[in-house]
Structure 1
Amino acid sequence: MRITSRKSALAGLAVVGISTMLLAGCAPAPEAPGSSDKPAASDFLPCMVSDSGGFDDKSFNQLGKQGIDEAATKLGVKANSVESKVETDYAPNITSLIAQNCNIIVTVGFNLAAATKDAATANTDINFAIIDDNSIDLPNVKPIVFDTAQAAFLGGYAAASYSKSGIVGTFGGIPIPPVTIFMDGFYDGVQYYNSQKGKDVKVLGWDVKKQKEGAFTGGFEANDTAKSTAKNLIDQGADVILPVGGPIYQSAVQAIKDSGKDIALIGVDADVTQTDPDITPMLLTSIMKGIQVSVAEVVSEAAAGKFDNTPYVGTLANNGVGLAPFHDFASKVDPGLQGELDAIKAGIISGKITVESPSSPK
C-alpha cells in the first residue's frame, strides 16, 4: 500500500456525505450471448442468493435485496431471493434458482465466487452478477465491486481526529478482500492524519503491512466472539471502533454498552443511521458503498437486453463509495474536520492523494 500527498490538496472542495450514489462502469465490453435491445418481458425473473447473515443484516445482503426489489418493482415483476445460512448452501441455492428459470442471478459476496463461476460456466444462457468479486472472467458474469479503501481512508482520518485516547480499533469477520479493503483504507487514513497533524494515533486490530494479522471473528454473525473481539479493543483503550462484516457491528454495540464508556462506532456498507436508526447516538459516521443502486441498475439493464460483463467499480469520483454525514456527532467533531475531509476527498479524486490497497479493484 502506498500513500502520497500534497498539502495543497487540503484547499480543494468536495462533498463527502452522499445520499444518492451513481455508479459508472468501465470501458464497454461485448454483450453476453443472447443479449438484445428488446424491452423486458413481463415474465422476466430476477433472482438473488445471499451470503450468510441473511437479508435482514442491515448491511450488504440487505442492500443487495433492496436493489433487486427496487428493479423488480420498476419492471412490474417479482424478484426471487433465497438466503444462505452456511457456505454449503451457496451452490444448492444457485441451482434451485436456475431450475426456476431465472433470467439473472445476483450473488451477494466474495464467498460465492466459486459457486457462481461453476454455475455460470454450466449455464451460459443465464446472466449472473456478483457483488464484491471481480475474479470471474466470463461473458455472462458481471462483477459489482467498490474501491472502498478510498472512503475508508476518510473514515480513518475522521476517527483519528475524533479520538480522545489516541487509540482506534478495527476488526473484521473474515480476512477476505471485501473486508480487509476497509481496514487498509482506515489504517492509512489514520496515518495520513498523523502525518498532517504531527500526532501518533494508534490503530489496533490490523497489520496493514502483513495483510493477514488482525482481529477477525471467523464469520459475519453477531455472536459472543464478535462481542469479545470488540471488548478486547475497548479494553486496550480504543475509543473509536470500525467493525467490518455485516451484523458483527451489532455485537460491538453490545460491547460498547457493557463497557459504560464513551466509544464511537463507524458503520460499513450503508449509512447505518438509516438501516439501524436505534444506534444513531453512538455512530460517528459510516463508510458506504452503493450496493443497492448498482444492483438495481444491473438488473434493469439485463431486463432491457443490455447486460454485459463490464465491471461496475464504485469510487469517490463516481459516488460509488463515500462517507456518511456525522449526524448526532456533527457538534462533537472538530469544527474544521468536514472541510479537511472535503479537501482530502478532492485530493483523492484528482490523484494528488493516492490511496492503494492490495484489495482495490484492478
Structure 2
Amino acid sequence: MRRVLKLAALGAAATLSLSACGQAPDSADSTTSESNADAGDTSGAEQGAEQTEAAGDNKDFKACMVSDSGGFDDQSFNQSGKEGLDTVAADLGIEAVEVESQADTDYTTNVNNLVQQDCNIVIGVGFLLEDAIQAAAEDNPDTNFALIDSAFSDADFQPVEIDNAKPILFNTAEASFLAGYLAAGMSESGTVATFGGLKIPSVSIFMDGFSDGVDKYNEDNGTDVNLLGWDKEAQDGSFSGDFENQSQGQTLTEQFISQGADIIMPVAGPVGLGAAAAASSADGVKLVWVDSDGFVTASEYGDLMLTSVMKQIGAAVETTVTDTVEGGFTNEPYVGTLENEGVGLAPYHDFEGDVPQELTDKIEEYKQQIISGDLVIETPNAPQQ
C-alpha cells in the first residue's frame, strides 16, 4: 500500500551522497599472463590455482536477486542485473539464485522466500520492489539487501537509512541530456519524443535530462526542435501505465510518429519493444534505448538504435556482491554518474558515419563539463550532488 501511495506522491528522490564505482580490470593483465604461460612461466598456473582455491572458499555464499514483473529477459535493466549477478557468481565461485516475478503481488513472497533460503544478500531490481526489500531488511537484520533504482523511505516518504540495505542508483539525467542533444541535432523533422512506463523517479529522470538536452540544442543553434511526451516543468507526460504492455508502447509511438516525431526514447523496459515495432514500420524513425545498449540487447531492432542511455547495472551488482563476499558491505548508496562511468551513452553503431563531427564534438564537450561540475543537469528526480 505504501508503494501505491508513493507512486502518486513522490516528486523527488532522496538526497544521497555519491560514491565512486570501481574500475574494470585492465585487459592487458590477461594478455601478460597468457604470454608468460606460453614462455613456460608457472606464475599463471599458480595464480589460477589460487583463484580456484579462493572460489572454493566462497562456495557457501549465496547471492540472490528478484526481478520486477518485466522479467529477466526484458532486454533492459532486469536483464542487466541478472548478467551482473551471473558474472560475479562465476568469478567468485558463489551460488546465485534468481527469482522472476510475474506480477506485483509476487514481490513480497519472492523476497521472503529468498530470505528463508539463507541468502547472504538479496537484491531487488527496480523501484517497485522497494516495499518488499525494505520490510525484509527491517525484519532480518542479519541478511544484507540491495535495491536497484530506489532509496528507502518512511511512511511520510522521508528518506531513511537501513543498516543492512544498500540503494543502487543512477543519475541518468546526465547521460540523457547528451542523448537529447544528439536527438535534437539528428532530427530531420524537428520533432522528437519520449514516454515512460510508470511515473516514478527512476523513469522521469531520463525524461528530464532528455528534455534539457533538446532545450540546450535549441539554445545553442537557434532552432525550435519540439519535444513530445514530457513537460519537465510540470513533471507530466505520456506513460504506458506499466512495463509489460508492448501494444501500448506501440500505440504511443505511432501517435508520436503521426505528429512528426522521427526520434523517440521509450523509458519503459519491455514496452520499448512495442515502440521499436512501430518505428520499424515507419520511414526514417530512430530510437534512443535506455538502461542497456539496445543495439546489442534488442539486436533485432539494431538498425533503429541511434544510441542508448546506459546504466551500468551489471557492474554495480558485481561490485556490491564482491564487497559483501569480502566482508565490506555498507549501506552507503552507490550512485552511477558520468564521472564514475556508472552511466553513459552507447556508441552510435550503424549511425556512426551519419552524426556530424561538430555534433559529436559538442556532445563530448558537454560530457566533460558535466563531469567537471561546470554543467549541472537539474532534476527533482535525481540524487542531489
Partners of 2:314 and 2:63 in 1: CA distance: 14
1:337 to 359, 377, 382: 359
Residues 1:122 and 2:147 aligned together = no
**Cα drift, residue 41 of structure 1:** 3.4
**Cα drift, residue 24 of structure 1:** 5.6
1:75 to 72, 92, 111: 92
Contact conserved, 1:24 with 1:312, CA < 8 A, in 2?
Answer: no
Matched with 2:199 is 175
Q: Deviations over 1:69-115 (max 9, x none)?
A: 11111121220000111111100000110111100000001111111
1:336 aligned counterpart, secondary structure: helix
1:132 to 125, 133, 149: 149
2:68 to 41, 51, 61: 51
Residues 1:289 and 2:311 aligned together = yes
Partners of 2:186 and 2:217 in 1: CA distance: 11
Partners of 1:24 and 1:266 in 2: CA distance: 27
Structure 1 runs not aligned, ≥5 long:
2-21, 26-37
Instruction: Give the 5 Å matches for 1:24-173.
Output: 41-135=58-152, 136-173=160-197
Percent identity, aligned pairs only, is: 47
Structure 2 runs not aligned, ≥5 long:
1-10, 12-19, 24-53, 153-159
TM-score scaled by length of structure 1: 0.88
Partners of 2:234 and 2:120 in 1: CA distance: 42
Residues 1:224 and 2:256 aligned together = no
**Which structure: larger Rg?**
2
Partners of 2:93 and 2:168 in 1: CA distance: 24
Instruction: Give the 5 Å matches for 1:183-194.
Output: 183-194=207-218
Partners of 1:274 and 1:61 in 2: CA distance: 15
Q: Deviations over 1:270-303 (max 9, x none)?
A: 1111212221111100001110000011011111
Q: Deviations over 1:175-217 (max 9, x none)?
A: 0001000000000000000001111101000110111x21100
Contact conserved, 1:222 with 1:250, CA < 8 A, in 2?
Answer: no
Partners of 2:342 and 2:246 in 1: CA distance: 30
1:319 to 341, 355, 360: 341
Instruction: Give the 5 Å matches for 1:186-225.
Output: 186-211=210-235, 213-225=236-248
Contact conserved, 1:270 with 1:288, CA < 8 A, in 2?
Answer: yes
Contact conserved, 1:23 with 1:290, CA < 8 A, in 2?
Answer: no
Contact conserved, 1:165 with 1:239, CA < 8 A, in 2?
Answer: yes
Partners of 1:351 and 1:198 in 2: CA distance: 25
Matched with 1:33 is none
Residues 1:266 and 2:264 aligned together = no
**Cα drift, residue 257 of structure 1:** 2.3
**Cα drift, residue 254 of structure 1:** 1.1
Contact conserved, 2:246 with 2:275, CA < 8 A, in 1?
Answer: no
**Cα drift, residue 222 of structure 1:** 4.2
1:246 to 249, 262, 269: 269
Q: Deviations over 1:101-157 (max 9, x none)?
A: 100000001111111110000000000000011225101001100110000000000
Greater length-normalized contact order (CA 8 Å, ≥ 6 residues apart)? 1
Matched with 2:350 is 328
Work out the number of aligned pairs and report it: 328
Partners of 1:140 and 1:60 in 2: CA distance: 23
Q: Deviations over 1:311-347 (max 9, x none)?
A: 1111011111101111101112223111111101011
Residues 1:304 and 2:326 aligned together = yes
1:79 aligned counterpart, secondary structure: strand
Contact conserved, 2:246 with 2:272, CA < 8 A, in 1?
Answer: no
Matched with 1:352 is 374
**Cα drift, residue 224 of structure 1:** 1.5
Partners of 2:328 and 2:21 in 1: CA distance: 16
* Residue range with higher mean Cα deviation, 93-102 or 213-222: 213-222
1:355 aligned counterpart, secondary structure: coil
